[in-house]
Chains A and B, each alone.
Chain A
């Protein structure tokens, strides 16, 4: 009897050991697989950085730091500078963010705080659908519908409105082409809006109801609750959404290529045509047959890589400071 029970116990033990071993094995495999995935990201990132540096070496060693400060982009004399594309990239993205952030946060506040329940889902879905539209569609729409509208109505009005006012008159100087820096900024603003809105909306939903209710309870208005409770509680999430939007705006290629005017010039006017780093690469890479020309285009890619990296780093740093201040 006891021998039988011992045998049963030992066989049960063996089964359990086998199970535990199997669990340990699957765990090891799981750990290795996830670690490999994480390392793969670093390897790819490193590979991209190395190949960009190698590809841009010829141009950077020839032009040096003056590559960053030269406006000329002349394939005939092979004299290249990145200042105009850098300027266009930074200005269009900045204007897009300035326009999209208040609107995006406004939509999020309306959806979470004020919107009647039956409207909430349709508006929310509509905003998210904006993110699903391919960028080429934005480009075509921008060129065929939006640009002619700007050219015939908005731009002449603004040019006349600010005519003769120092500063503003050169910022909004004609002729009205319809396409240009401002048009691409507006298209970019529409494109980044869903990123900012949906993330902001999600983080607004995480604000504990008790906080808001207490604020309402002591007599705060909706504006005060939003301003003093909701936004301070969620600013890190909002920042995240804005940075995600900025990242998309900086790298957006196709839609911008359609509506920016693709001119390697820096003009004071926002109505003037310009170019961005990604638009220049998309336009010129296929026909760039000189080594120095190709290398200069790769250098532009490297610069965009660095700009994006810097902006993400700055965003992290700001978030860290906010964190530590809240902690203290």
Chain B
């Protein structure tokens, strides 16, 4: 017994000591929390940034909702969200918001004999499928878009996300934009009341369910679809042109967007004009305080973001994310220089 107590005491002392040294080592790290969608690229950037500067990133990918909660509770230096906060919410909380990186969302299907990119869908048809109005793959609406494809007489099995997700937010935003029926009956949110289909957790859950269910259709992030070689479909965009999901098509949507039209760059990239634009493009945002309590930490975070904007484009491309256009980056950095200040009103960011 006495031995046990002594060894327990030693263990506690050692744990406390290691916790102390750990917190000393982590004091210099940047802390953030939020969206799961950009987590792989943030981790990759952080890894390279640490090699260059010695400053690491402690990012918890707990979901956009969690990220917003944590930054509001001031437990992290920055929050990350796939759905932008509205102007009035930014004003009332004193948060600054800017987009960090983009990606695309693609419909994926499981139909025998159909290869990636062979099938074409348009917004209203996609909305009707997810509303449960179109229930069979040989429906006239799908046939009209695909005159050369042999469509099977097979029931459509809809697969959607069961967890709240920025991907769902952007997907439903697009469906609401192209279909009044969708906007009225289902609406736009990170989780909605789905009229039909089965729910699966995460991109991997949706992908697996689609892969296993004959006649299934779902939606996943492009990076996920590409890396797992899923059968994605092409889409008809706002200009009536058929587009393939590629990094160029996502960039086109971002380039055609009017970023200054919304406070905090809160532009949803769904259904943007332009012949090349992929209609389901999505950005992800960072939230920091305009007048942070810990000015030094926020300054370090901004340095990391500036570094990522400047040197992270190739790494983003490798992971099938799309870097922000240079004009947007310039405008964001100007905003930092103006709006994000320490207690004495001195800007925290003054160029690289």
Q: List A residues at the B interface (Cβ < 8 Å).
A: 72-77, 143-144, 147-148, 151, 174-175, 177-180, 257-258, 261-264, 273, 275, 279, 283-284, 286-289
Contact = CB atoms under 8 A, between A and B. Distances in A.
Chain A contact residues: over half helix, strand or loop, or mixed?
loop
B33 to A, nearest CB: 11
B192 A144 contact: no
12 contacts: A74-B193, A143-B208, A143-B209, A151-B213, A273-B199, A283-B199, A284-B191, A286-B65, A286-B163, A287-B164, A287-B165, A287-B190
A85 to B, nearest CB: 12
A263 to B, nearest CB: 6
Q: Which 5 A-B pairs have the closest CB atoms?
A: A287-B164, A262-B199, A262-B162, A76-B187, A289-B65
B279 interface: no
A75 B190 contact: yes
Contact of A178 (B69, B187, B189, B213): B213
B213 A177 contact: yes
Contacts of B201: 257-258, 262, 283
Given A178-B212, A283-B162, A284-B163, A263 B199 contact: yes
Interface string B149-160: 000000101000
A85 B191 CA distance: 16
Contacts of A261: 198-199
Contacts of A287: 63-66, 163-165, 190-191
A289 B69 contact: yes
B253 interface: no
B200 interface: yes
Contacts of A73: 193
Interface-centre pick from A261, A286, A287 (highest chain B CB count, 10 A): A287
B176 to A, nearest CB: 10
B193 A72 contact: yes
Contact of B68 (A148, A258, A273, A289): A289
Nearest to A257: B201
Contacts of B26: none
Interface of B: 62-66, 68-69, 155, 157, 162-165, 186-194, 197-201, 205, 208-209, 212-213
A148 B212 contact: yes
B173 to A, nearest CB: 12
A283 B65 CA distance: 13
A58 to B, nearest CB: 16
Contacts of A264: 193-194
A132 to B, nearest CB: 24
Nearest to B200: A262
Residue among A174, A279, A284, A289 with most chain B CB within 10 A: A289
Chain B binding surface, main DSSP class: loop
A179 B198 contact: yes
B218 to A, nearest CB: 13
Contacts of A178: 212-213
Given A257-B201, A273-B199, A287-B65, A175 B186 contact: no
B198 A262 contact: yes
A144 B208 contact: yes
B191 A75 contact: yes
A76 B164 contact: no
Contacts of B191: 75, 284, 287-288
A178 B212 CA distance: 9
Contacts of A258: 201, 205
Contacts of B197: 263, 273
Contacts of B157: 175, 177
Contact of A76 (B62, B186, B213): B186
Contacts of A275: 199
A49 B73 CA distance: 25
A73 B68 CA distance: 23
Contacts of B193: 72-76, 264
Contacts of B209: 143, 179
Given A75-B191, A175-B157, A283 B163 contact: yes
B6 to A, nearest CB: 20
Contacts of A180: 198
* From B164, B187, B192, residue with most partner A Cβ within 10 Å: B164
A288 B65 contact: yes
> Which of B69, B157, B189 is most buried by chain A, counting CB atoms within 10 A of its CB?
B189
Nearest to A140: B208
A317 B351 CA distance: 73
Contact of A263 (B163, B188, B198): B198
Contacts of B186: 76
B209 to A, nearest CB: 7
Nearest to A148: B212
A55 B164 CA distance: 20
Nearest to B163: A283
A77 B192 CA distance: 9
A76 B175 CA distance: 14
Given A73-B193, A283-B199, A289-B190, 11 more contacts: A72-B193, A144-B212, A174-B155, A179-B198, A180-B198, A273-B197, A279-B162, A284-B191, A287-B165, A287-B190, A289-B65
Contact of A74 (B68, B190, B192): B192
A286 B164 contact: yes
A147 B212 contact: yes
B188 A76 contact: yes
A263 B209 CA distance: 14
Nearest to B176: A76
Given A76-B192, A261-B199, A264-B193, A286 B212 contact: no
A264 B195 CA distance: 9
Contacts of B66: 286-287
Contacts of B198: 177, 179-180, 261-263, 273
